[in-house]
């Protein structure tokens, strides 16, 4: 097990921490990347108030699961119209942060297809220009604020691109649970389950280390305890704070391990069956727990810190937790027949994320 843990993101956490944007952007010019409802929620005005004339450009039409068809125009406009700005602030869920990560990686031509060509090679590269990124999540789930990873979708071609470069680590993350108070129940659940998946995937992972385990176990305990209560009391500041911290801890965990089999399965479930990310990467957790259990004594011990030493009970607890949140746990529930499910798992194990799974060799 590697003993090295690295995370370069300066993180501000807590109620009211949005105000740190003012000091973090001092003497810089800034572009804001956010989601369509941010303006009606008053978030664009709050950022304008904090930044004043430093805010020189706003992109406010980020779509869920950023797709290359839409990103192309946004990217090329951004570099043509705001190429001189110093920083980008991503304010929103995983889609806003992932979109911003794509935008900050500049190509020589300013053309988006040049970036896609580089990503298609699957190798690291040094971009000719880039921007500093500050990530401000408005959901408790993505973890993208403390990782360099971004997923870009090409639904037309039924494929996805994974972006991660040294420059796509945010320089700073601001995790302010007050920004999450208006998130509706469905998104609260799906994003919370994304965080649960990040934490579990960091444990059944060949890249796990003692520090990622510490973050992951703590995140799982918090989410199992807190998410059902939060779903029943969406305006509770204490519970929003606990879930925000849990999602941040899960993000810290997988910032060092990447995700594994459940996420690898999720990509096909999202592309082929339109299942939202948080559900697509969590419905299979009881199944993947069963595939992970017994593969590695050290990994079992970490899982048993949360679930005890009986696999059947552990899976039943996880299944019951998901069902209690209204999430179905079988492939058939999503219209995927058994043969297709088996093929999907086999193919997911061969994917980049699937290979991080501790059972990838033997499964
Ligand atoms: Fe995820």
Tens digit of each residue's pLDDT (9 = 90 or more) over 335-350? 999 999 999 999 999 9
Which stretches of the chain are assigned E, i.e. beta strand?
A: 10-13, 30-35, 55-62, 87-92, 105-106, 129-130, 132-137, 150-154, 159-163, 172-175
Distance 135 CA to ligand 1 centre (A): 16
What spacing in Å lies between the alpha carbon of 297 and ligand 1's midpoint?
26
Q: Please give the distance, rounded to the nearest whole angstrom, from the Cα atom of residue 198 to the centre of ligand 1.
A: 6
CA pair distance 112, 268, nearest whole angstrom = 24
pLDDT at 1 over 70: no
The predicted-structure confidence for 62-90, as pLDDT tens digits, reads as follows 988 889 999 999 999 999 999 999 999 99
- C-alpha 85 – ligand 1 centre gap (Å): 30
pLDDT at 122: 86
Q: If you average pLDDT over residues 201-225, what whole number do you get? A: 98
CA distances from 311 to 262, 292, 321, 361 (A): 18, 10, 15, 21
Query: For position 3, what pLDDT does the model report?
Result: 79
* Best CA proximity match to 95, nearest among 60, 131, 129: 60
* Cα gap 123→31, rounded to integer Å: 28
Quick one: pLDDT at residue 362?
A: 59
pLDDT in tens, 183-202: 999 999 999 999 999 999 99
Q: Mean pLDDT in the chain? A: 96
C-alpha of residue 309 to centroid of ligand 1, in Å: 27
Partner residues linked to 357 by β-bridges: 205
Residue predicted with more confidence, 2 or 202 = 202
Q: How close is the Cα of 54 to the center of ligand 1, in Å?
A: 32
Domains of the chain: 10-178 (3.40.50.1970), 186-356 (1.20.1090.10)
What whole-number distance in Å separates Cα of residue 21 and Cα of residue 42? 16
How far away, in angstroms, is 277 Cα from ligand 1 center? Answer: 7
Q: How far is the CA of 224 from the centre of ligand 1 (A)?
A: 17
Going from the Cα of 192 to the center of ligand 1, the distance in angstroms, rounded, reads 10
Spacing, Cα 279 to ligand 1 middle (Å): 9
CA of 142 to the centre of ligand 1 (A): 6
47 alpha carbon to ligand 1 midpoint, in Å? 27
Query: What's the DSSP call for residue 139?
Result: S
Residue 263 CA to ligand 1 center (angstroms) comes to 7
Positive or negative CA dihedral for 157, 162, 163, 165? negative
Specify the pLDDT at position 95.
94
The predicted structure's pLDDT at residue 242: 98
**C-alpha 342 to ligand 1 mean position (Å):** 22
Distance 89 CA to ligand 1 centre (A): 21
Which stretches of 122-236 are DSSP H helices?
185-203, 210-232
Beta strand 30-35 with 87-92 is parallel
Structure tokens at 335: 């219209």
pLDDT, average across residues 163-181: 97
Enter the pTM of the model. Answer: 0.95
């Amino acid at each position: 097990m590697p003993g090295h843990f690295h995370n370069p993101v300066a993180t501000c956490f807590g109620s009211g921490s949005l105000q740190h944007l003012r000091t973090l952007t001092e003497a810089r010019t800034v572009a804001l990347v956010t989601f369509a409802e941010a303006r009606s929620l008053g978030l664009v005005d709050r950022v304008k108030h904090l930044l004043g004339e430093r805010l020189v450009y706003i992109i406010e039409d980020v779509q869920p699961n950023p797709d290359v068809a839409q990103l192309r125009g946004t990217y090329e406009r951004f570099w043509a119209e705001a190429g001189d700005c110093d920083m980008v602030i991503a304010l929103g869920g995983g889609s806003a942060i992932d979109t911003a990560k794509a935008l900050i990686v500049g190509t020589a031509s300013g053309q988006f297809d040049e970036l896609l060509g580089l990503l298609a090679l699957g190798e690291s590269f040094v971009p000719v220009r880039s921007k500093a990124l500050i990530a401000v999540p408005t959901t408790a789930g993505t973890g993208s604020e403390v990782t360099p990873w971004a997923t870009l979708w090409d639904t037309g071609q039924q494929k996805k691109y994974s972006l991660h470069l040294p420059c796509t680590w945010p320089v700073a993350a601001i995790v302010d649970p007050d920004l999450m108070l208006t998130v509706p129940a469905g998104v609260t659940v799906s994003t919370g389950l994304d965080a649960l998946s990040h934490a579990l995937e960091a444990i059944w992972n060949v890249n796990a280390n003692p520090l990622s385990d510490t973050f992951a176990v703590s995140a799982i305990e918090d989410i199992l305890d807190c998410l059902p209560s939060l779903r029943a009391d969406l305006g509770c500041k204490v519970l929003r704070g606990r879930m925000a911290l849990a999602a941040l801890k899960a993000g810290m965990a997988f910032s060092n391990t990447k995700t594994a089999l459940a996420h690898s399965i999720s990509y096909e479930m999202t592309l082929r069956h339109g299942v939202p990310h948080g559900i697509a990467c969590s419905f299979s957790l009881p199944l993947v727990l069963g595939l992970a259990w017994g593969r590695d004594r050290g990994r079992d011990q970490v899982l048993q810190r949360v679930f005890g030493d009986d696999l059947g009970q552990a899976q039943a607890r996880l299944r019951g937790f998901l069902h209690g949140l209204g999430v179905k746990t079988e492939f058939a529930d999503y219209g995927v027949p058994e043969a297709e499910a088996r093929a999907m798992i086999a193919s997911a194990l061969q994917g980049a994320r699937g290979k991080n799974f501790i059972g990838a060799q033997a499964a």
